[in-house]
Structure 1
Amino acid sequence: MAASCHCFVAGLLLLFSGVLSFPVGQEKRDATTCGYQSCHATKPTMLNVHLVPHTHDDVGWLKTVDQYFYGDRNNIQHAGVQYILDSVVDQLLKNPDRRFIYVETGFFYRWWKQQSSSMQQTVKQLVNQGRLEFVNGGWCMSDEATTHYSAVIDQMTIGLRFLNETFGICGRPRVAWHIDPFGHAREHASLFAQMGYDGFFFGRLDYQDRARRMNAKEQELLWRASDSLTPPMADLFTGILPNGYNPPEGFCWDQLCTDDPIRDDTDLEDYNVDDVVQRFLHAAKTQALVYKTNHIIMTMGSDFQYENANLWYKNLDKLIRYVNDQQGNGSNVNVLYSTPSCYLQELHQANLTWPLKTDDFFPYADSAHSFWTGYFTSRPALKRYERISNSNLQSCNQLEVLGGPVSRKGLFGQGDSETLRKAMAVAQHHDAVSGTEKQHVANDYAKRLAKGWQHCQVLVSNSLASLTGSSAERIYCDYLNVSVCPLTESSSKFSLSVYNPLGRSVTWPVRLPVNGTAYAVTDAQGKPVDCQVLPVSRATQEVRRSRGFAKNELVFQVRAPPLGYSSYSVSLLQDGPPSSSPQHQAPTSIQNKFLQVTFDPDTGLLSGLSNLETKQTIKLSQNFYWYNGSNGNNVESLQTSGAYIFRPNSSTPVMVSSKARVEIFQNSVVQEVRQWFTPWVSQVVRLYADSKAVELEWTVGPVPVSDEQGKEVITRLDTSIKTAELFYTDSNGREVLQRKKDFRPTWQLKKTEPIAGNYYPINSRAFIKDDTDQLTVVTDRSQGGASISNGSLEIMLHRRLLHDDYRGVGEALNEWSELFPDGLVVRGRLLLSLEPPATAADAHRPLAQQVVSQPLLSFTDGDLNPNTRLEFSGLQASLPPAVHLLTLSQWDQESVLLRLEHQFQSWESKASSQPVTVNLQKLFSTLDVLGVSELNLSANQWKDEMKRYDWSPEKEEKPLLKTFEDPSVWEITLRPMEIRTFLLRVTFK
């Protein structure tokens, strides 16, 4: 292990040195008074009001991230982050009592790079004295409903790493701060706890939940965010802010505000100090009635405020002075500049017990008919692109490690993973992947991801050139989902490289656009691979439009080793007419050795699903429907459906079609039933030869709106499973939560929206079950879903709406593009698995990981050099089934960051929910691990130095901590839902 030091510096100069020293620029400062030591004194016999000056700076929303930083396009919204930071630093220097918190590291990083060395030194002094404090510290303030945990961890890691490297221990946030996300996920709380945060504050929760909590003084609580991790590993103190993230009414003194300033010149007729003081005392005492201690917090700031910080601070200085002067007249209110961490310290020192919460804060409504459940699905194409980009980033990170230094600067030029890493970090913002931004901002997010992937493509090509020994140019086909790949369409001979980022071997179906009718495919051992040619469907031809011209698709299954690649050679044998002719009559069934899918011959729709191994059979009907999006003329409310809010004007959706025209193709590789419902809805029900899951490939759009009705398109699965109004969803792709119709675990729901009020985020999977059967649906992006009727599961696929929902974005969610001027067409996949409940997790967890971290395909034209290495694995052996390799990325020249996780909950599987031991020295095939040091989850503290506040729940004895010792520094044990993070010092074998 590394020698203990007082600040962890990400450059890792001390790792394994055994010498107590401090890296250059991070020397020990005896005068440091940051963090809890920098808090102003409070008065124990008084009501202490903690004023927290802050700004909330969206990393893109109405303007792009660049426009927000520079203050561009102020005709859209007046906001300029660079001026905020300039002004705040200037004002903090004028009064040592003043405080300010900053959140979005992505913005601060940009500003910091532009400062002179003297200004940087000044800011470091402010940070070291606790006058400027970072909270949260991620690259952005991420969304909690539509983000995947792996991407959340990544974006937190790069933000916190920058703060660590720049400011040392004084840059490390103590508090998580999600004041704007629209509902809060249990998994986020669990991650924050594992990252070492002492507490978590947010601003939004359901209006009914807030009313109950205010009445019961339960707006501060202990959130037990895992049912598998031993408390307090995932326990997080959580506080709900009193005014969202705004100041109390009447006390906003920003240039964007209209409240009166404090006029304290007694010679003037409009002197108002007495009025301001009395109004403030009333606000403070009223707020104190609904909180538990003699400390309350007030957020003094809002969106993009403090561009002219003098306005705020001049009035806050006066407010503190004049309110505290009243103590001489018997007032018991004490006002002070503070930060969330200082406020948290006082709550901790109160030594109270706190109500315990074990569920989450979804769905969120801010009024009776305003449920923020539409954004679970909004901008489904962007949501899918973000998910693909995450998969590409993990492959890029891994290949940067496995290929060595030549990956970054090699045969194909200079590549990097950082560009995509930062683009992905920005995409996690709560107005990015959430789909709640303006269209031009969504376009900007997509462009950033595309640019990042271009940089990674160079890196991946360099790495694969090094690993394979081949200098052949690599081609990447990013539109395979709509059968577009110029190389495969035109070449008579090419090779395919399949890189698998998972820690176990995978089998994956490949569909390549071609114009021939017969091909030969051989694997890395030269063995023939069964392949078939199918005609490109009419739906695919329409959605790809002019981007590709392949008549056929070559279909075969590939197998790739863990953390490695395998190569396949493809040769054209025959041109001519298509060899496969469809059957146009409605099918009765398709099946492989694992599953049978049955259809109604009269309608062409799904009618049943059987697991042939377990002898299970359920009735299963599936169809497409749409809800009318409210246009604001309902009797109960003027609320419309929009980017944030889902509000159907009827509880009964409209069926798209009661029948489907069908074509059926059956061969030795795949069986598929192509269903055509309307010109804007089609689907392929697909069953590959070796698959234990049924694929439903849906294509929706352009959604018609000529009837002036916005539409929320769903697919619904109706089954014979007896669900008792229960269904289950994942939380950010990890732990599973039970949902019940018209029910909230901690408060009595008054039902006002029977559909929207029962929608929940689905990030990677959802399921329904009874005692004998479990039907799991794995999604390829984040979507909203519900179980409105027993035995039913519906998932929202696409939204096209004609009205803004009045939550700030200012435009309707009506997506189109130059390629799709008549409305956006979206394609996606659902995978269906039928298993007994006791073993279902053994099937759906690996399946979901495989969809999230899908193989990366690259192509080379012509024959490969005979000396090319056709197969490679970066691991000595596959990881155990319960273990997922979450992160492998280059940290610096000599070390890599590794995260391993146990991907099962403690109750999920008799076989897989057991502790697993992995030997780190026996992990990699090409890397020698010379040293190891364990970090916390966000990699900004040594694990053994991470100390967190201890909190006591109400009505529960404090659980005994289980302690486990690893048998050696190399062998590490993972328990259910545990993620362990390591820095490894490595060399190539």
Structure 2
Amino acid sequence: MPFQYLQISRILSDRDYSNDKNEDIYVTLHKRETHIEVHGHSINFLTKIEKSEPKKLRIHIVFHSHVDPGWLNTFEEYYNVSVHNILTSTIYALEKYPRLRFIWSEISFLERFWQDATAEEKKKFLELVKSERLEICGGAWVMTDEATPLFYAAIENMIEGHQFVHKEIGIRPKSSWSVDPFGHGYMLPHLLPYTGVESMVIGRFHDHVKQRLREAQKLRWIWQPPYYEMETNGPIVNSLPYFVYTTQHACPDTKLCGCYHIGPSSRAQCIGGTSMKNMNKTNADKITEAFVNQMKQVQKVYGTDDILVAIGDDFFFANRTDFDEMYHGFAMMADNLKERYFDQIEMDFTTISEFFNRIKNQSLATLVGDFFPYTANKDENHPWWTGYYAHRPYYKTLERRLQASFKNGLRSLDILRVAIKSNESFSELQQAKRDFSLFQHHDGITGTSRPHVMADYERRMNDAMALSMRVFAAMTADIMKLEAPPQLVNKIVN
């Protein structure tokens, strides 16, 4: 059977929500033994909180680079200046250091790289994925915003990314990495299980809620969407412990953790410690111990032996020396720990799926609710991050019009494909659908990008609208030539 993620939209479109009642939802939740309810900035623990004392410390280092397909620069500007170099450097580093692991989530940039990559680069990339040292996470075209897109747009975003990954890379992602949207909602934990994704790493939500979860040692949970009862549980979620996904924010002391983010592309400052760049046999114990002390504090907010530590930054690892220096530093610390602590404290490089496989037998709380609205300040001295819900309405309106065009046209096109057994029109629309999906990025549809970047999104959507109208017009002309039953023609044309 061919790999078809269109089943996602069919499953959802067949669902009738009109008869859903609140009591039905709560009965379902009760059956799932709900432990935590979250509603934006409020959180309730429905069962007694029992903290645990870990016996060991296992530090799972995850190297990543956060690459926005449009923010301060346009998609193409970022690709030409940074992203192409990041991907070639990744291949170089993973080949050079067999112990190293890396994750990648933005499929839009991967597809752009695939256009330029040599046959040898593609071969090496595929070998690294096959060996599970390079993990493709999420599989969506972009790391979508979770507040403003509609379900249709989120599904299209998944379809475009997953179909490329399946066709060119030959895999089906198991884990999701969504660490920068401004809050998190029900949409992804509801949709991702349909794509085969079983686990998620998320990052940004109300600091008051995150603080309560830290205090309760509940930064991992099973996230159950309330729409209707599924045959299986929702995805397992691991929240990053602090503000964002950078190396500095992997620790409670962000200034000290700046000492462990080194390389030519680093923008971190080392304050209060010794830079890992200057580590040698003489000071290795001291530098390693300072990092471990930070990780012990992180472990306290999880209450488990295993902790995931995100190591990276925006457009980091664009220089091969970034990989060289970061790898040697963390590898030296890992070896130092093994020599001094044997198996009581361990550290090594990992992927998201490897980490979740390690913790799969842990007993986890069940959480229901969403993390909107979002604010980054627990004292609430800063405004809520809700302006992007309606900010730059022209672009949001253009996106909705393009979405309506796709929904109406593709419904007719699906009928035409059955009638004439052709996928030609679908192929013509692929670039239009990809540009539509690109705008779902958390700095696109939110309107949080620079003006010239928003103008680039606008150009792409206008081109997509024009292309889709041409395709649908040609399609209608073809339909009129068909020797088809009149009711079929009327259904399409009208």
TM-score between the two structures when normalised by the length of structure 2: 0.80
SS at structure 1 position matched to 2:170: helix
Equivalent residue, structure 2, for 1:377: 390
Q: Match of 2:347, SS?
A: strand
1:400 CA drift (Å): 3.1
Query: Does the alignment pair 1:426 with 2:425?
Result: no
Letter in 2 for 1:379: R
Q: Which residue of 1 aligns with 2:364?
A: 354
Q: Distance in 1 between matches of 2:326 and 2:133?
A: 18
Q: Describe the superposition over 1:35-86 as per-residue Cα deviations: whole angstroms up to 9, x where unpaired.
A: xxxxxxxxx9631100000011101011111111111xxxxxxxx1111111
Task: Identify the residue that residue 253 of structure 1 maps to in structure 2.
Answer: 262
TM-fit CA distance, 1:227: 4.1
AA of the residue aligned to 1:262: K
Residue pairs, 1:131-280, within 5 angstroms: 131-169=133-171, 172-230=172-230, 232=232, 235-243=234-242, 244-247=244-247, 248=250, 249-250=257-258, 251-254=260-263, 255-257=265-267, 258-259=269-270, 260-265=275-280, 272-280=283-291
Taking the aligned partners of 2:5 and 2:444, their CA distance within structure 1 comes to 31
Q: How does 1:957-976 map to 2 (within 5 A)?
A: none
Partner in structure 1 of residue 303 of structure 2 = 292
Query: How many residues get paired?
Result: 422
Contact 2:93–2:320 (8 Å) recurs in 1:
yes
Aligned to 1:967: none
- Report SS of the residue matched to 2:428: coil
Inter-CA distance 374–149: structure 2 relative to 1 (3 Å threshold): same
Quick check: 1:185–1:361 contact (8 Å CA) kept in 2? Answer: yes
CA deviations over 1:353-396 (Å, ceiling 9, x no partner): 22222111111111113311111111111111111111112233
Report which of the two has the higher share of helix: 2
The superposition leaves residues 169-210 of structure 1 with CA deviations (integer Å, 9 ceiling, x where unpaired) of 3xx211111100001111221111222211111111111111
Letter in 1 for 2:204: R
Amino acid at match of 1:65: F
Cα gap change, 1:132/1:329 in structure 2, threshold over 3 Å: closer, same or farther?
closer
1:409 deviates by 7.3
Match of 1:103 in 2: 105
- The change in CA–CA distance for 1:124 and 1:11 in structure 2 (over 3 A counts) is farther
The change in CA–CA distance for 1:338 and 1:313 in structure 2 (over 3 A counts) is farther
Higher strand share: 1
Q: Does 1:363 align with 2:373?
A: yes
1:459 matched to 2:458? The reply is: no
Structure 1 counterpart of 2:410, which letter? N
The answer to whether the 8 A contact 2:277-2:329 is kept is: yes
Corresponding residue of 1:83: 85
Of structures 1 and 2, the one with the larger relative CO (CA 8 A, separation 6+) is 2
Q: Deviations over 1:904-924 (max 9, x none)?
A: xxxxxxxxxxxxxxxxxxxxx
Counterpart of 2:235 in structure 1: which amino acid?
A: L
Amino acid at match of 1:297: L
- Cα distance in 1, alignment partners of residues 279 and 368 from structure 2: 49
Distance 1:55 1:401, change over 3 A: same
Tell whether the 8 Å contact from 1:217 to 1:290 is kept in structure 2 after alignment: yes
> CA separation in 1, counterparts of 2:129 and 2:151?
30
User: Does residue 1:336 correspond to 2:345, yes or no?
Assistant: no
How far off is 1:469 after superposition?
A: 4.5
**Contact 2:284 2:336 (C-alpha < 8 Å) held by counterparts:** no
CA distance in 2, matches of 1:394, 1:117: 37
**Mapped partners of 2:217, 2:424: distance in 1:** 59
After superposition, the Cα gap between the structure-2 partners of 1:48 and 1:309, relative to the gap in structure 1 and judged at 3 Å, is farther
Provide closer, same or farther for how the CA distance between residues 326 and 408 of structure 1 changes in structure 2, counting only shifts above 3 A: closer
Residue type at the aligned position of 1:422: R
Give the conservation status (yes or no) of the 8 Å contact 1:323–1:333: no
Contact 1:415 1:459 in 2 (8 A): no
**1:218, 1:202 → 2: CA distance?**
14
Kindly indicate whether the alpha-carbon contact (under 8 Å) linking 1:83 and 1:307 is maintained by their aligned counterparts in 2: yes
Distance 2:285 2:466 in 1: 62
Percent same amino acid at aligned positions? 25
Distance 2:385 2:446 in 1: 11
* Offset, 1:261: 3.8
In 2, Cα distance between the equivalents of 1:11 and 1:207? 35
- Which ranges in structure 1 are unaligned for 5 or more consecutive residues? 3-7, 13-43, 72-79, 471-524, 526-560, 565-870, 879-989
Q: Does 1:70 align with 2:77?
A: no
For 1:252, give the aligned amino acid.
Answer: H
Deviation readout 1:152-181 (Å, 9 max, x if unpaired): 111111111111111223xx2111111000
Is 1:395 the counterpart of 2:408 in the alignment?
A: yes
8 Å contact 1:55–1:305 — kept in the other structure?
yes
Change (3 A) 1:355 1:117: same
Contact 1:324 1:333 in 2 (8 A): no
Q: Aligned with 1:378: secondary structure?
A: coil
Are 1:245 and 1:299, in contact at CA under 8 Å, matched by a contact in 2? yes
User: C-alpha distance in 2, partners of 1:334/1:313?
Assistant: 21
For residues 208 and 110 of structure 1, the distance between their equivalents in structure 2, rounded to whole angstroms, comes to: 39
Query: Given the two structures, how large is their TM-score scaled by the length of structure 1?
Result: 0.41
The residue correspondences of 1:10-21 to structure 2 (distance < 5 A) are none
- Listed one character per residue, the Cα deviations across residues 589-636 of structure 1 (whole Å, up to 9, x for unaligned) are xxxxxxxxxxxxxxxxxxxxxxxxxxxxxxxxxxxxxxxxxxxxxxxx
**3-state SS of 2:388 partner:** coil
Instruction: Say whether the 8 Å CA contact 1:417–1:455 is kept in structure 2.
Output: yes
1:60 equivalent in alignment to 2:70: yes
Q: Which residue identity does 1:388 align to in structure 2?
A: R
The offset of 1:9, in angstroms, is 5.2
Q: Displacement of 1:333 after TM fit? A: 1.6
Cα-to-partner distance string for 1:275-311 (whole Å, 9 max, x where unaligned): 3212111111111011031000111101111101432
CA distance in 1, matches of 2:3, 2:102: 24
> Aligned to 1:120, which of 122, 135, 152?
122
Confirm whether residue 873 of structure 1 aligns to residue 472 of structure 2.
Answer: no
Amino acid at match of 2:310: T
**SS of equivalent to 1:185:** coil
CA distance in 2, matches of 1:408, 1:463: 12
Aligned partners of 1:176 and 1:201 also within 8 Å = yes
* In structure 1, distance between residues paired with 2:92 and 2:459: 35
Q: Distance in 1 between matches of 2:459 and 2:421?
A: 27
The answer on whether the counterparts of 2:173 and 2:196 sit within 8 Å (CA) in structure 1 is no
Q: Is the 8 A contact 2:279 2:287 kept in 1?
A: no
**Residues of 2 paired with 1:56 and 1:158: CA distance?**
20
CA distance change for structure 1 residues 45 and 403 in 2, over 3 Å: closer, same or farther? Answer: same
CA 207–155 in structure 1, closer or farther in 2 if over 3 Å, else same: same
SS at match of 1:872: helix
Q: SS in structure 2 opposite 1:352?
A: coil
Amino acid at match of 2:401: I
Letter in structure 1 aligned against 2:163: R
The answer as to whether partners of 2:133 and 2:351 remain within 8 angstroms in 1 is: no
SS of equivalent residue, structure 1 residue 417: helix
Give the match for residue 41 of structure 1: none
Closer, same or farther: CA 360–446 of 1 in aligned 2, 3 Å: same
- Alpha-carbon spacing, 1:221–1:265, altered in 2? closer, same or farther (3 Å): closer
Distance 1:56 1:68 in 2: 12
Contact persistence 1:56–1:302 (CA under 8 A): yes
Judge conservation of contact 1:253–1:312 (CA < 8 Å) in 2: no
CA distance in 1, matches of 2:477, 2:416: 9
* Separation in 2, partners of 1:356, 1:326: 34
CA distance 1:385–1:321, shift in 2 (3 Å): same
Superposed displacement of residue 450, structure 1: 0.8
Do 2:226 and 2:368's aligned partners in 1 also have CA atoms closer than 8 Å? Answer: yes
Q: Name the residue aligned to 2:38.
A: none
